[in-house]
Structure 1
Amino acid sequence: MPRQRSRPNSERSGGTAIQSPPQRLDRSFASGKRILAEMFALAAVYFAFARLGLSTATIVDVASPVWPATGVSLAGLFLLGVSRWPAIFVAASLANLLFASASPAVALVVGTGNTLEAVLGVLLLRRLGFSSTLARTQDVLVLTLVAVSCTLASVSMGSLGLVLSGKAAWNALGLTAWVWWLGNAMGALVVGSAVLVLARPYPEPRWREALGLAALIAGVGLWSFRGNAVGPLAYAQVFLLFPLGVWAALRFGVQGAVLSILLTASISIWGTVSGHGPFFSKEDGPAVDLLELQLFLAVISFTGLVLAAAHAERGKAHAQLELLATAVGSVREGVLIHQLLPDGSLRVVYANESFRDLTGRGPEELVGRSPRGLLMGGLESEAHQLLGKAVREGDFFRGEATLAHKDGSRVQSEVLVSPVRDARGQVAYFVATHRDVTAQRQLQAKLISAERIAAVGTLAAGVGHEINNPLAYLVLNLEGVAQSLEQGSAGLTEARARLEAAREGAERIRVIVRDLKVFSRQEGEERAMLDVNAVVVPALRMAAHAVRPRARLVEEFGHPPKVMGSEARLGQVMLNLLVNALQAIPEGSPERHEVRVRTGRDDSGRALVEVSDTGCGMSPSVQARIFDPFFTTKPSGEGTGLGLAICQQIVQSHGGELRVRSAEGQGTVFTILLPAAEGAELPEAPEPEAPAASVVPPRRRILIIDDEPRLAQSMRMLIEPSHDVFVTTRGAEALAWVREGQRFDLVLCDLQMPGTTGMDVYSNLRAHAPELAERLVFISGGAYTQATRDFVRSVRNRILEKPVRPEELLATIDEALATTVQA
């Protein structure tokens, strides 16, 4: 017979311990013992304080100037729980029975009233969110409310019980109730506050100062309530206790306030009951004495507690303010606080250390100044308008700004502006947080550039093929021209045909190089009015050779509106989408697949570009993540996972959308939607009519500066039939000619040359021959440095991109010279 395993005393079910009956009984017994011990201790303390209060009673042996037992019962039930009320009832009934010479019935009635006032008081305290620390003004007010309201239960029941039992006369009911009520209220306020506060641990006070203050209070109190002064002088002595109470409240907080109140109350009650002090008068009787004493205690108690609570709140608010200032000052983001002035302008009132580091400026350079221009100069005009609208409407603003550092550098900042409202709900301040994203934007630019180069690299073989074909027949035709010219006049016709073929080949190479420059240039954020079809065509030329072995390339051009954008950035998007399309189609069956590019406009008038393929498609799970950075389905080493993420970022920066539709085995469709540029629908200006008769222009002096001798000589041979041409390969030599007094009507200058660059030539001419600087045309190979890009943005001069077509060069010269003549 198998043995049964004994069950442990505690089993677990669902992670919760299930206790056995003996354990539950042990815990219940221990809890019961603790409750009984607390009730016994509370009853003993209440009984002792009731005996003390009755010893100072002056009206029918029960009305005392301060009934301390009320404070004990109220604080005890609040700290231990209302369920301990039987201890109050028993102790109150016994005290009245033994020390007030009350009958058992009267003792029970008074005990019931004392218990009821404590229970109602505790329930009201908890209802009103009272805190026993008394460190808030509202806690003092709540305790005062409870002291003057809930004590009415004890007063009404006790006074009526005394009259009905014959212990007090009916005509004394009002005075008895009045003194009883004030005595219980003072007990709750004086003793109750002391018990509540002193029941909590506090840090050690400054003992020497505390003892000295206590000695002063005791000395002034004894002098006032035991001395021989009478009349106004006696009252003046009493008022000396007020500054000592203020001292205790401000220096020692709530703990010092309740102790000073308790000490003052003890001395004043003892002196008055003993027949001394300003509140004792043989003519008025004890009733008036008690009323004056109670009024004095009410004022000094309430004042001390409120002052201590207000001081504690002020200290807490100051600590929170210091914490907030420390937190704001130490955050890594730059924080700038602006005050909104009545005229709607902003003034800087605070700048934390991080913001000062961002701009390299000190507080004296920021505080009190307007942020306009000084800090927000890097916002785009549209962002400026949005920021102004947010300030006017008291709303939030999020955008990017370029902060000007004191050393002249620029800091890219992501800024969030938030309104701060006052108690009336009006916007009083704006808080701007600036996060330095300079490194992030630089890294982002590098990633975009790397992804662009990667896309071009994917098509490198096709681009090489596209260049080699026209280059081959260009070389062959040039060789054929040389052979034809050797035949003399008989070979001129053939030489002319070969030169035309060579020119066609050179033009094809120029177009391919131009496309490469568009897709590979490092700059490209400059926005201009663009024809969407003109952006799509170069991308198709770049990708055509790589697409043909996999699919048919179908072009379906519509009439999209013009858009405002960057040709290089949007061209990169098109190139990436074409690369994605061809990579989704396997090689070997071009007749079965196609890549279709369609342009047009959508129903809302936006420009539309659609790139679709008949490749493998995507599952819903892959489709949901294709725009996540670094997500790729390609094998390791064949993709970065940044292409589509960057495409989406570029399209969104142009205010557009990049959408995708796909199904596994059915291909993919990417759709680009771009907002139409303002004025894109306006009709184009009519072409100017040709002049009725051509006028032969006069010969002009043209200076050519280019470090490539063959190119300079080629331009000279092209221009010399119409003008006088002077050529140099060094910018320094050209400047020397100008300084010597040689006159030129136009300058063609290479932008990037060793030694004296085109930028140096321009700067020197601006200083010494400004009229010639205005007639300078730059010729650039396009490989710009950062300094070159900044220079190009800053000048208005015409810039021709190499290789320059002859007709374009001659037209530019004629236009520049015509402008010079008109000027």
Structure 2
Amino acid sequence: MLVLAVAYFATSWLGLTQATIAGAASPVWPATGVSLAGLYLLGVSRWPAVFVASAGSILCFGIVPPQAALAMGVGNTLEAVLGALLLRRLGFSPTLGRIQDVLALTSAAGACTLASVLMGTLSLVVVGGPHSWNGLLLMGWVWWLGNAMGALVVGSAVMLLSRSHPEPRWREALVLTGLTLVVGFWAFSGGHQGSPLAYAQVFLLFPLGVWAALRFGSHGAALSTLLIAAMSIWGTIAGHGPFISRNDGRTVDLLELQLFLAVVAFTGLLLAAARVEQGKAHSQLELLATAVRSVREGVLISTVHPGEGPRLVYANESFREMVGWRHEELVGRTPCELFGGELEPEAQQRLEVALREGDFFRGEVMLAHKDGSRVVHSEMQLSPVRGADGRVSYFVATHRDVTAQKQLQAKLVSAERIAAVGTLAAGVGHEINNPLSYLLLNLDEAEEGLAKGPQGLAEARARLESAREGAERIRVIVRDLKVFSRQEGEERAMLDVNEVVVPALRMAAPAVRPRARLVEEFGRPPRVMGSEARLGQVMLNLLVNALQAIPEGSPELHEVRVRTGSDDSGRALVEVSDTGCGMSPTVLARIFDPFFTTKSSAEGTGLGLAICQQIVQAHGGELRVRSEEGKGSVFTILLPSAEARPSRTPVPVVVPSAPSAPVATQRRRILIIDDEPRLAQSMRMLIEPSHDVSVTTRGAEALAWVDEGQRFDLVLCDLQMPGTTGMDVYSHLRQHAPELAERLVFISGGAYTQATRDFVRSVRNRILEKPVRPDELLATIDEALASMSAA
């Protein structure tokens, strides 16, 4: 308080020594700046220091009576208190690093100084001071401007000097200070009072103030303004400069001087604050740009124009690495051009709504790599950016590469599926052994019948028909195994739910029967869009869970019931119930948690039900469960309907009779390529009555025949062979005999590698699964040759 009082007293004395201007007032009242800065920095509780110093300084100079001096002291104190409180209310920062800080200080300087002006001018009139009522308005105007300039010029300098400031560039600062002194001395020491040349000289100080503000910030602006104010007041008092009347050389245009100082101070502080804010904004922009560039997730920014779709304007390095495109190749494209496959209908609909309505979107998409070598699975989050008018001007999309996660997930799904099939392996082996034994016995009997000569032909034919029936049963079992063990299975198609349930029942039936009765209740569920392999895995896992919940030895006491149909909302329903041990509420609450299991490590991993729930949810459905300890469990699958038409109920498999030989209208040349010689010869014997057939077990030999000029009308080729594979044959034919590549039919055992699975998805050629039924093979050949004839 003592230091504040001394500082106020000293600056009051300095201001009063200049009160000769216009006979009564000072153009800048520095004490206002000291009191305002002091109370703001030290707290308004220090107001007694301001009051004592203010009233004491006025009394010491003996300008007015004691009553008026006390009134002025009250006004000056009130001015400082109100100004400090207003600055705090406006969120002012003494660093003056924001435009709002400069505006707040200017507002406080203009508003709160009115308290001092009103108290001071009125006290002078009331006590009968030297000023009459006629000069009250002019005196109040000059007083107000002087105090306001004191707050703006001196107050800003005090506040900034109380704060730390960056290391100055001393050489530049000295040069700037020297130039300011030289120009100021030249402008306010010449003999051009009030002339246009004097105004021109003063205007040269403005560029120097701008230089100080832009290069040295708020500190430079405040100190430069303080220096210019000191020189302008000193020069004007000395009778020089543009603010002295040209006629008498003594009259001061106080208003012009004060407005000049106001413009210099306000412009300098405002430019400095704008420069600081620009620097902060630039730093934040650089920080944001660096963060976006270095973040591991891909970032895309798209601009939106009315009537047009989004267009890419920015892609960070992580996204460019993800898709293999350069930045200039991406700019201007639509984001959807980068998708490597169609979205699920539900996700596609949500994305379209988000783009149309400017909403958020989150979902999985596939991005195609530029060279086509791979597809990147990405978890995308789309966010709109709205402008001041509320319209969406940009979309920001972040992409997280989840390809490795998807691959691991696929391996877990595959492992759980194989574990489920392994649980049923003994029963499946039993189911194969039965028709296999039946097949072998009938073949032996047929051989004996043929050995008897003509009289044994009828018996041999009957035995062969029975053998065919056994082979058909084995083919159905192998087909079911392929459905549940295949690695692919993400392809969606229109499915009959009953036709998905039946293979699972055939697989599980041998293992269920020693424990419980297997009851089937087939209804008429609607068709669904889904993956046969994935939904089949869910059914198989639920059946395995059901049989493991039932102890062996009392099949007459237990049952596993499978029911299909639809629920009240029209969704397809599959229900698997058992009369096993059931689950307690504690176990029931955790059954879908990964790796949670109540079984031994030999019976389960705890992934089965978690994977089942994930597969059902990926199909847009629900997996529900209800269970009671000691009374069994009921699992219910609900899948959204893909069409209103109900599916048909399953019908028994009918083994067709032996196919009749096709009647060909024209003999063609057919090339068979298969690394299994017996199978190749069997196909040759089947086809040769109608066409000319060439057979090879090596793909390289077949390609050599084609290169030599041999002409073939159709190629039957095994997909996976040692050495030259079916894919290699196709690629070679595409380059050297493209018309023959279109008439290439693949035959595969279904044990696909990843490369083979990708190839199968990409080609349009027909692919027959082994074992191929004779009628199916001949029909495929006739269809391919018929299309050739039509062309």
For the pair 1:315 / 2:279, whether they are aligned, the reply is yes
Pairwise CA distance, 1:44: 1.8
- Counterparts of residues 306-345 of structure 1 (less than 5 Å): 306-345=270-309
For the pair 1:174 / 2:113, whether they are aligned, the reply is no
- Counterparts of residues 95-244 of structure 1 (less than 5 Å): 95-167=57-129, 168-230=131-193, 231-244=195-208
Residue pair 2:526, 2:647 contacting (<8 A) in 1 also: no
SS of the equivalent of 1:599 reads strand
Distance, in Å, in 1 between the alignment partners of 2:618 and 2:91 is 53
Distance, in Å, in 2 between the alignment partners of 1:695 and 1:509 is 26
Shift in CA distance, 561/103, structure 1 to aligned 2, threshold 3 Å: same
Task: Letter of the 2:85 partner, please give it.
Answer: L
Shift in CA distance, 322/733, structure 1 to aligned 2, threshold 3 Å: closer
Shift in CA distance, 289/739, structure 1 to aligned 2, threshold 3 Å: closer
SS of the equivalent of 2:515 reads coil
Aligned position for 2:610: 645
Aligned position for 2:500: 535
Aligned position for 1:556: 521
Distance, in Å, in 2 between the alignment partners of 1:441 and 1:376 is 17
- Name whichever of 561-570 and 800-809 sits farther off: 800-809
1:259-281 deviation line (CA, Å, top 9, x unaligned): 11111112222222233332233
Aligned position for 1:748: 716
Structure 2: gaps (5+ residues): 650-660
Aligned position for 2:744: 776
Pairwise CA distance, 1:321: 0.8
SS of the equivalent of 2:244 reads coil
1:669-725 deviation line (CA, Å, top 9, x unaligned): 2111112224745999xxxxxxxxx99543634443322222223233334445554
Distance, in Å, in 1 between the alignment partners of 2:780 and 2:485 is 26
Pairwise CA distance, 1:605: 1.4
- Counterparts of residues 354-503 of structure 1 (less than 5 Å): 354-373=318-337, 375-380=338-343, 382=345, 383=347, 386-410=350-374, 411-503=376-468
1:394-437 deviation line (CA, Å, top 9, x unaligned): 22232333333344322222222222112222222111211111
For the pair 1:599 / 2:564, whether they are aligned, the reply is yes
Task: Letter of the 1:93 partner, please give it.
Answer: A
- Name whichever of 280-289 and 440-449 sits farther off: 280-289
SS of the equivalent of 2:253 reads helix
Aligned position for 1:83: 45
Distance, in Å, in 1 between the alignment partners of 2:103 and 2:779 is 91
Task: Letter of the 1:96 partner, please give it.
Answer: I
SS of the equivalent of 1:671 reads strand
Shift in CA distance, 695/236, structure 1 to aligned 2, threshold 3 Å: closer
Aligned position for 2:677: 709
Aligned position for 1:56: 18
Task: Letter of the 1:300 partner, please give it.
Answer: V
Residue pair 2:523, 2:563 contacting (<8 A) in 1 also: yes
Shift in CA distance, 59/238, structure 1 to aligned 2, threshold 3 Å: closer
Task: Letter of the 1:395 partner, please give it.
Answer: D
2:728 to 751, 754, 760: 760
Aligned position for 1:677: 642
For the pair 1:802 / 2:770, whether they are aligned, the reply is yes
1:168-195 deviation line (CA, Å, top 9, x unaligned): 2222211211111111111111111111
Shift in CA distance, 698/241, structure 1 to aligned 2, threshold 3 Å: closer
Residue pair 1:530, 1:563 contacting (<8 A) in 2 also: yes
Pairwise CA distance, 1:381: 7.1
Residue pair 2:662, 2:690 contacting (<8 A) in 1 also: no
- Name whichever of 624-633 and 780-789 sits farther off: 624-633
Distance, in Å, in 2 between the alignment partners of 1:607 and 1:338 is 40
Task: Letter of the 1:404 partner, please give it.
Answer: A
Task: Letter of the 1:479 partner, please give it.
Answer: D
- Name whichever of 179-188 and 378-387 sits farther off: 378-387
Distance, in Å, in 2 between the alignment partners of 1:210 and 1:197 is 17
Pairwise CA distance, 1:285: 9.1
Distance, in Å, in 1 between the alignment partners of 2:631 and 2:420 is 24
For the pair 1:251 / 2:218, whether they are aligned, the reply is no
Distance, in Å, in 1 between the alignment partners of 2:623 and 2:756 is 33
- Name whichever of 196-205 and 756-765 sits farther off: 756-765
Task: Letter of the 1:280 partner, please give it.
Answer: I
SS of the equivalent of 1:400 reads strand
Distance, in Å, in 2 between the alignment partners of 1:235 and 1:268 is 12
Distance, in Å, in 1 between the alignment partners of 2:99 and 2:782 is 87
Shift in CA distance, 746/210, structure 1 to aligned 2, threshold 3 Å: closer
Distance, in Å, in 2 between the alignment partners of 1:449 and 1:320 is 48
SS of the equivalent of 2:556 reads coil
Distance, in Å, in 2 between the alignment partners of 1:423 and 1:671 is 51
Distance, in Å, in 1 between the alignment partners of 2:602 and 2:161 is 73
1:225-257 deviation line (CA, Å, top 9, x unaligned): 233333222222211111111111001000011
- Name whichever of 530-539 and 429-438 sits farther off: 429-438
Pairwise CA distance, 1:751: 2.2
SS of the equivalent of 1:380 reads coil
Distance, in Å, in 1 between the alignment partners of 2:575 and 2:676 is 44
Residue pair 2:493, 2:531 contacting (<8 A) in 1 also: yes
SS of the equivalent of 2:555 reads coil
Residue pair 2:239, 2:249 contacting (<8 A) in 1 also: no
1:595-654 deviation line (CA, Å, top 9, x unaligned): 111111111211111111222222333333322222323234543222222212221222
Distance, in Å, in 1 between the alignment partners of 2:357 and 2:330 is 25
Shift in CA distance, 189/735, structure 1 to aligned 2, threshold 3 Å: closer
For the pair 1:574 / 2:536, whether they are aligned, the reply is no
Task: Letter of the 1:313 partner, please give it.
Answer: E
Shift in CA distance, 287/90, structure 1 to aligned 2, threshold 3 Å: farther
SS of the equivalent of 2:772 reads coil
Residue pair 1:62, 1:100 contacting (<8 A) in 2 also: no
Query: TM-score by structure 2 length?
Result: 0.92
Query: TM-score by structure 1 length?
Result: 0.89
SS of the equivalent of 1:591 reads helix
Pairwise CA distance, 1:296: 1.2
SS of the equivalent of 2:308 reads coil
SS of the equivalent of 2:535 reads helix
Residue pair 1:629, 1:642 contacting (<8 A) in 2 also: yes
- Name whichever of 670-679 and 319-328 sits farther off: 670-679
Distance, in Å, in 2 between the alignment partners of 1:749 and 1:500 is 29
Shift in CA distance, 163/791, structure 1 to aligned 2, threshold 3 Å: same
For the pair 1:700 / 2:667, whether they are aligned, the reply is yes
Distance, in Å, in 1 between the alignment partners of 2:783 and 2:329 is 49
Pairwise CA distance, 1:210: 1.3
1:142-175 deviation line (CA, Å, top 9, x unaligned): 2111111111111111101011112222222112
For the pair 1:278 / 2:246, whether they are aligned, the reply is no
Distance, in Å, in 2 between the alignment partners of 1:412 and 1:300 is 61
SS of the equivalent of 2:636 reads strand
Distance, in Å, in 2 between the alignment partners of 1:643 and 1:100 is 99
Structure 1: gaps (5+ residues): 1-38, 685-693
- Name whichever of 589-598 and 479-488 sits farther off: 479-488
Residue pair 2:105, 2:152 contacting (<8 A) in 1 also: yes
SS of the equivalent of 2:482 reads helix
Pairwise CA distance, 1:515: 0.8
- Please provide the CA RMSD for this pair: 2.6
Aligned position for 2:315: 351
For the pair 1:629 / 2:567, whether they are aligned, the reply is no
Aligned position for 1:16: none
Shift in CA distance, 681/298, structure 1 to aligned 2, threshold 3 Å: same
- Name whichever of 701-710 and 251-260 sits farther off: 701-710
For the pair 1:519 / 2:477, whether they are aligned, the reply is no
Shift in CA distance, 682/550, structure 1 to aligned 2, threshold 3 Å: closer
SS of the equivalent of 1:111 reads helix
- Name whichever of 579-588 and 300-309 sits farther off: 579-588
